Structure 1
Amino acid sequence: MDLTLAFSLMGGLGMFLYGMKLMSDSLANVAGAKLRNILEKMTKNTFIGMIVGMIFTAIVQSSSATTVLVVSFVNAGLMNLYQATGIIMGANIGTTITGQLIAFNLSDIAPLFVLAGVIMLMSSKKPNIQKIGEVILGFGILFVGLSSMSAAMSTLKDSPVIVNALSTLTNPLIAIFIGFAITAVLQSSSATVGIVILLASQGLLQFNICFYIILGCNMDRVYLL
């Protein structure tokens, strides 16, 4: 792997992570307070709690943020462990929204989102409009970074060392550890899932081994908390 390819991968990953953080932080600022009130009140029924947790996580794009919030509620005595279980279950379902967005492959129109977000930020002085602009800008940057990573990874198929290393990854325990380690470094299970989707789409990872890597990502949530 030459330096140009490495820089392209790192730059794409940096934009992907920044876009995800900008989008999730902006969404939390726009609707975070209201969602916290809903999360606190609508948890008497486990099924409803699961739906609330799923919606909350889909909006803030972070199951870890939802889980941390629920843990703080339990510690404060605002909800019991039974109520928290449903929300955390919903959070793990809601976090798949990020993976689904990546699977839609919106990279071709990502620059339009970046442009729209920048226009909203620069042309309006209203805080709510600016926050929504940040959400749209973050969404666009996320997919621009994803496109950069995808382009760089497509060239990895020409490297026999990389292809052999990934094709020989058949041990489930090693795959789980890899998912755990990458998520510990990136501090984002969604980012790791995005990388796995890109590698699988390029034919660099076997489909069945992806499940174990993603399992490692979700095990790592305990570390992130």
Structure 2
Amino acid sequence: MHQVFAELFGGVGLFLLGMTLMTNGLKDATGETLKKLLTKFTETQFKAMLSGIGLTLLVQSSTATTMATIGFVNAGIMSFAQAIGVMIGANIGTTSTGWMVALLGLKFSISMIALPLIGFGAVINLLGKDRIAVLGLIIAGFGLIFFGISVLQEAMNGFSKQGDLSFLNANEFLGQIILVLIGLVMALLLQSSSAAITTTLAALATGAIDLSEAIYMVIGQNVGAVGITVISVIGASVSAKRTVAVNVVFNLVTAILAFFILAPLFIYFYQQYTFFTQWDVLIILALFHTAFSVMGALVFMPATKQLEKWLLRILPNDLPAIMKFLDEANLEFSAIAVQSAQTVQYYILFEIFSFLSAAFQEGAMPSQRKIKQLDEIILQLEAYLEKINVPYSHESNHDFVSLLRVMVYVRVLRSDLENIDYAILLRTQPAVLQTALDYKHIVESYIQQREQLGNPKNIEPMRNELNSLKKWTSQHRAEIRQKILQHTEVNQLNAAKGIELLAAQRWLDRLVAHTYRFSNVLYESILKNEERKFKNGC
């Protein structure tokens, strides 16, 4: 019996390792595809559900879909209502594992095929580069999945001969509850509903349990999958908690309906109708698993708006709105993390330019509270950037490098705010004030909303005008200094005041130069990104 349990745990471990390798490989290979799929095909609730199904089939992980969905909600790409549709679809898509195991993994011995796949994938990963290396991980992961299933099947064969499960009785209510609890504990211990369902299919294939017992265990495994995601968002953002709450409500309500309606119907038809008894029990269990989630979709899809309102009410967001973009759940997908960080970066820059414009136009200084809040956001963004891991070959690598280059000027422009009180002084000196107002006019003309910072049609003309202003200030620097000195003498200002006016002029010159360099870096980044998108489109 000890050997049986050793094989059982080993088989589950191999399956989980294979799923992890394959899922991570698929996520790396399809990062941009995930983004395109969820941004282009979620306009309606039905399309959002289909996107959730497609995405989960693509990466073979409902957890990956959950993390991607949280990221897109945080990044403002997807509304929470759309996220509900995606999560419902993910629950349907994750049932594909059961079908794969039922149709392939337990139909014939594939260990002889699985082992060469593992070796072939490992060699490709070691010798290949970039996406070829990622393909090796996917192949090796696929082989490990089926080798793990083979080991599980052997373990369940031994368990069916030595184990006694006669105490399980799916015909009694108490027995049904016990089976559900067993399934729930299995999913929690294995940290994977796919692994739990695969183990159940292996037990069913070897006769360790019968179909009715397996059905109630699958119900518990779906509830257990909720427990996994709940644990993952302890201390996470409100967006993450709301998205996981969709899973909780969906799986719990669907489990109750399946327990009282769907399970009895499947068992009744299997026992009473010859047509169903001719079916393979593995296929029937996989069908039940899919029907379980489809039934939930039919119940919840018409009520997504009501579900959204309820969840927004019980899980309000008290943090500054911009901070939701820096959710660590976004780090699961580098493309989402980079876009989220860019959104926060644009927000910071827009705030800095707003402070400067108000100071030059009205002499209004930003409050210490606003400055402190801005500094906190900058610190949070810098900490977030350190956690983003973008492979060199990844499509998002260029965007990430551009983000870091622009970040240099975020810090430079923030340091310029330290002397923003010079703006008050400049308002007393007409010779310099006009330059300040010209600077303000250029910035305000092209950046009225933070989203415009990512538009090359705005950045290019702003860059050109800032360059002209920078050249003008350089050419007339000596002349303006002379006017300041004359102003000091005519108005009989003390030397300290004159020096302060000259310092204010130098500050304004640096501000114009820094903003021009920032616009130049931003323009180059946007231009290269547009060129890359054009090439990929071709």
Give the structure-2-normalised TM-score: 0.39
Give me the whole-angstrom Cα distance separating, in 2, the residues matched to 1:211 and 1:158.
Answer: 22
Match of 1:132 in 2: 135
Change (3 A) 1:122 1:78: closer
Match of 2:193 in 1: 189
Give me the whole-angstrom Cα distance separating, in 2, the residues matched to 1:130 and 1:152.
Answer: 33
Give me the whole-angstrom Cα distance separating, in 2, the residues matched to 1:67 and 1:123.
Answer: 33
**Could you tell me how far 1:187 is from its partner in structure 2?**
0.9
CA contact (8 A) 1:64 1:221 kept: no
Higher Rg of the two aligned structures: 2
Q: Secondary structure at the match of 2:166?
A: helix
Match of 2:179 in 1: 175
Please list the CA deviations of residues 152-201 of structure 1 after superposition, one character each: whole Å capped at 9, or x if unmatched. Answer: 11012221x43424x54552222221111111111100000100100111
**Could you tell me how far 1:143 is from its partner in structure 2?**
0.9
Match of 1:16 in 2: 15
Match of 1:25 in 2: 24
The letter of the residue matching 2:194 is: S
Match of 1:207 in 2: 211
CA contact (8 A) 1:107 1:146 kept: no
Please list the CA deviations of residues 46-68 of structure 1 after superposition, one character each: whole Å capped at 9, or x if unmatched. Answer: 22212211111112111122123
Q: Secondary structure at the match of 1:164?
A: coil
Correspondence 1:24-103 to 2 at 5 A: 24-103=23-102
CA contact (8 A) 2:118 2:139 kept: yes
Please list the CA deviations of residues 43-96 of structure 1 after superposition, one character each: whole Å capped at 9, or x if unmatched. Answer: 112222122111111121111221233234335543233312221121112111
Give the structure-1-normalised TM-score: 0.89
The letter of the residue matching 1:164 is: S
The letter of the residue matching 2:95 is: T
Change (3 A) 1:207 1:78: same
The letter of the residue matching 2:144 is: I
CA contact (8 A) 1:114 1:138 kept: yes
Give me the whole-angstrom Cα distance separating, in 2, the residues matched to 1:47 and 1:90.
Answer: 9
Aligned residues: 221
CA contact (8 A) 2:169 2:176 kept: no
The letter of the residue matching 2:218 is: I
**Could you tell me how far 1:107 is from its partner in structure 2?**
4.5
CA contact (8 A) 1:64 1:224 kept: no
CA contact (8 A) 2:42 2:82 kept: yes
Give me the whole-angstrom Cα distance separating, in 2, the residues matched to 1:68 and 1:35.
Answer: 11
The equivalent position to 1:145 in structure 2, one of 122, 130, 148, is 148
CA contact (8 A) 1:157 1:204 kept: yes
Change (3 A) 1:28 1:168: same
Alignment RMSD (CA, Å): 1.9
Give me the whole-angstrom Cα distance separating, in 2, the residues matched to 1:127 and 1:107.
Answer: 33
Give me the whole-angstrom Cα distance separating, in 2, the residues matched to 1:38 and 1:222.
Answer: 25
Give me the whole-angstrom Cα distance separating, in 1, the residues matched to 2:120 and 2:63.
Answer: 29
The letter of the residue matching 1:84 is: A
**Runs of at least 5 residues in structure 2 that lack an aligned partner in the other structure:** 230-538
The letter of the residue matching 2:57 is: A
Q: Secondary structure at the match of 1:14?
A: helix
Give me the whole-angstrom Cα distance separating, in 1, the residues matched to 2:74 and 2:31.
Answer: 20
**Could you tell me how far 1:123 is from its partner in structure 2?**
3.2
Give me the whole-angstrom Cα distance separating, in 1, the residues matched to 2:165 and 2:188.
Answer: 24
**Runs of at least 5 residues in structure 1 that lack an aligned partner in the other structure:** none
Q: Which stretch shows the higher mean deviation, 38-47 or 92-101?
A: 38-47
Q: Which stretch shows the higher mean deviation, 185-194 or 93-102?
A: 93-102
The letter of the residue matching 1:192 is: A
Give me the whole-angstrom Cα distance separating, in 2, the residues matched to 1:183 and 1:199.
Answer: 15
Provide runs of 4+ in structure 1 moved above 6 Å: none
The letter of the residue matching 2:38 is: L
Residue 164, structure 1, aligned to residue 163, structure 2: no
**Could you tell me how far 1:6 is from its partner in structure 2?**
2.1
Change (3 A) 1:68 1:118: closer
Percent identity between the aligned chains?
35
CA contact (8 A) 1:156 1:163 kept: no
Q: Secondary structure at the match of 1:217?
A: helix
